[in-house]
Structure formats: structure tokens, C-alpha cells
Amino acid sequence: MKDPAPHKKTRRAPPEGGPVTMATVGRMAGVSQVTVSRALSNPEKVSAATMQRIQEAIRVTGFVPNALAGALASRKSSLITALVPSITNVVYSSLLHGFSEIMRAEGYQLMVSETGFLPETEEALIFTHLSRRPDGILLTGIHHSAAARKMLLGAGIPVVEFWDITESPIDCCVGFSHTETGRRTAEAAFGWGYRRAATVSAGDERALRRRDGFRSRFAELSGDRDIPGITGEAGPASLQSGRLALSALIAEHAFQGGVIHCSSDQSAHGIVTEARSRGLRVPEDIAVIGFGDQDYAGFTDPPLTTVRVDRDRLGRAAARAMLTRFRGEEDPERVTDIGFEVIRRGSA
């Protein structure tokens, strides 16, 4: 028997065994597809009896709604996109943790990618992520390529930049001044009596600003213009890189002692470890200041003097900034400085 409608094109065989949709559920419950949709999003607008039958049908069929279709139709994906330099770095992963906790509670899901500290990669990822039509986007830092900024602006969604602050964010930023941490660390160290210093820094842009803040302020205060420094590559420092850095400082820069400003607790820990295994006393011979106040910082021996940033609060503040924008509030805060704290423990 020929198909009576010559122009009826079907892509696939009839709907036997096809995906379970709201229509499937509706058929089984004796209602239309729309009613199923309503039962799921506005339960109060459906009669109790209908609700019962629909729920039973959902149970039997194992129906899982298609959020892709929902997002397309409603123009709301409930998706938040996040770009961080590296997820293996606790600093960023803990921030994401705090952020996603709040966003999840509000029904949003996170899609994360790593930029590897590379602006080109970030730019490419922004494009890919925007194609998923997220409701908002979270970026690390305040430096993004011109093309990236353009795409972001064009997307017309909230953009939260975190872990740094600027007077001119794309949309809004939540963080603290990296330069200022360096300066305040220098002031603290000078106040504790240190007159000679050195720096050990990772190569990424923010670590360098922390280092430079320390350098210039310490020079100002102590008059010492010759502060030796070891600078690594962009990317996370490790305990090992800290050990190597101290060795290099001693071997190549004839470092004689004083305080060492590190761009991370990891490298600070490495320096302490290396110093001890060389029989040097910490902080008497070599004092060390870390950055980040990682979970272990208070429990090393000696415990690390470091800069504490309330990452939990930062993550939450970023989430709050985004939620505020979703609510469409008038004139929301553009810059949130959550500050930091220099914590003195045993290592300096």
C-alpha cells in the first residue's frame, strides 16, 4: 500500500521504541503533551488526579526531560559556563566549588573548561561555551582578548570576572588587588624587622603583579634596590619548584638570608623543605611568606606565614553577583573587593 500523502517525508521508522518524550508520557496518562510539561513546571496548575496519572506514567517509562529542547524553547538553559586556568590547582577548584554550590541550589549547572593560562585558548573556549547558550559566564581574571570581550558583550548575558579586580570590568568583577597583596606583604615583612628580601614567583600575570607589588614596596621601605628573584613559567608552582628555586637563589644569586616572597604556598612549602634539608633554620636564617593559605599552610613545620583570601566567600560573592544580574536588579555593584589578610605564622 502506497503512502496516500506523496509529500509526507518521515526521517525514521514510526515511533516505536523511539525516545520517551512528553508526548509518550501524555499518551500513557491520557492527556496532551502540554499538560505533561505543565505538570513538571507548574504542578499547581494541574489537577491532582491528572498529576497522579502523569507521575505514574513518568515512573513507568523512566522519562527524563530533554533540557536541550526546553532551553531552546524557553531561551533559558540554566547553564553557567566557567573558565579557569587549571582545575588541578586548588585555588581555582575551591573557588568553583563554592560558586557552584550556590548556583546549583538555584537550579543552575556548571560547565567548566581549562584555559591553561593561555589567552588564545580562553578566546576559543569562550566561543564554544557561548554556543551552548549559557545563562551566565564566569571568567578568571580581568585580562581577555579584544575578540573575547566583543563576543561576551554580544552574548548579552551576565559576565562575572573573578580572582582579580579592575575599574573597568566587562560586566562585573569580584576579587582583590594582587599588587596590593604584594605591597602589604612587604610592609608586614619590613615591620617584622626583615631588611633583605628575595622573590620566587610563578610566571602568570597575576603572580607577577603580586611579586612586583612586593618588590617595589620593599625597596621603598628598606632602600634595598637589589632584590633577587626567581621567576618560573606560567602554570602552577609545586613543592619541587620551590625547592629548586631556593637552590637557584643560593647558587646563582648568592642569597644570604632574609625573607622570601613566594607566589604560592606550594613553592613556599618547597622552600621551607629545602632550607631544612640544608640545615638552615626557618625563619632565623631564611624566612618565607606564601600566598593562598592552603589547607595545609597552618600545619607545616613551621607553619606558613601567608596571605589569606577567603575563597569560599569569594566563590559565594561571585555567585551572588551573577544571581543579582539574573534578577535584573537596577544598577548592581560592578566591582567587589573582598580583600585579603596577611597571616603571620612561624615561617616569617
User: For 47-55, which contacts have Cβ atoms below 8 Å and span 24 or more sequence positions?
Assistant: 53/29, 54/25, 54/26, 54/29
Chosen from its own copies, DNA, none, partner binding at 265 (C-beta under 5 to 8 Å by type):
none
**Is 4 exposed, middle or buried (CB count within 10 Å of its CB: 0-12, 13-18, 19+)?**
exposed
What is the total residue count of the chain? 348
Chosen from DNA, its own copies, none, partner binding at 270 (C-beta under 5 to 8 Å by type):
its own copies
Query: Are the CB atoms for 204 and 178 separated by under 8 Å?
Result: no
Specify the residue, 22 or 186, whose C-beta has the smaller distance to its own copies. Answer: 22
Q: Considering only residues 52, 56, 59, 74, which one is a binding residue for DNA as defined by CB under 7 A?
A: 74
**Shortest spacing between CB 129 and DNA, in angstroms:** 15
Specify the residue, 31 or 57, whose C-beta has the smaller distance to DNA. Answer: 31
Cα 137 to chain center, whole Å? 11
Instruction: Show the cell assigned to 181.
Output: 597583596
Rounded Cα distance, 206 and 198, in Å:
18
Hey, which residues between 256 and 285 contact DNA (CB under 7 A)? none
Rounded Cα distance, 174 and 6, in Å:
61
**Shortest spacing between CB 97 and DNA, in angstroms:** 29
Specify the residue, 155 or 338, whose C-beta has the smaller distance to its own copies. Answer: 155
Specify the residue, 197 or 288, whose C-beta has the smaller distance to its own copies. Answer: 288
Rounded Cα distance, 178 and 309, in Å:
11
Our finding on whether 120 is near its own copies (CB under 8 A) is no
**Shortest spacing between CB 127 and its own copies, in angstroms:** 6
Compute φ and ψ for 307, nearest 5 degrees: -110, 125
Query: Are the CB atoms for 336 and 289 separated by under 8 Å?
Result: no
Rounded Cα distance, 147 and 151, in Å:
6
Q: Considering only residues 1, 73, 105, 254, which one is a binding residue for DNA as defined by CB under 7 A?
A: 73
Our finding on whether 2 is near DNA (CB under 7 A) is no
Rounded Cα distance, 341 and 52, in Å:
56
**Shortest spacing between CB 5 and its own copies, in angstroms:** 23
Helix ranges restricted to H, 156-192: 178-191
Specify the residue, 98 or 213, whose C-beta has the smaller distance to its own copies. Answer: 98
Specify the residue, 101 or 205, whose C-beta has the smaller distance to its own copies. Answer: 101
Three-class DSSP category at 161: strand
Our finding on whether 47 is near DNA (CB under 7 A) is yes
Q: Considering only residues 15, 150, 285, 329, which one is a binding residue for its own copies as defined by CB under 8 A?
A: 150
How do strand 306-308 and strand 341-343 relate by DSSP bridges? antiparallel
Q: In sequence order, what are the residues at sequence separation of 6 or more whose Cβ sits closer than 8 angstroms to the Cβ of residue 4?
A: none
**Shortest spacing between CB 19 and DNA, in angstroms:** 4
Specify the residue, 45 or 279, whose C-beta has the smaller distance to DNA. Answer: 45
Rounded Cα distance, 51 and 233, in Å:
60
Rounded Cα distance, 173 and 69, in Å:
32
Our finding on whether 47 is near its own copies (CB under 8 A) is no
Which range in 48-56, 135-143, 171-179, 294-302 contacts its own copies by CB under 8 A? 294-302
Hey, which residues between 223 and 262 contact its own copies (CB under 8 A)? 238-240, 243
Using CB under 7 A as the criterion, which residues of the chain lie in contact with DNA when the complex forms? Answer: 7-11, 18-19, 21-23, 26, 30-35, 37-38, 40-41, 45-47, 49-50, 65-66, 69-70, 72-76
* Residues in touch with its own copies (CB under 8 A): 62, 64-69, 71-72, 77, 79, 86-88, 90, 93-94, 96-97, 100, 104, 109-114, 127-133, 150-151, 154-155, 238-240, 243, 266, 269-270, 273, 276-277, 295-296, 298-301
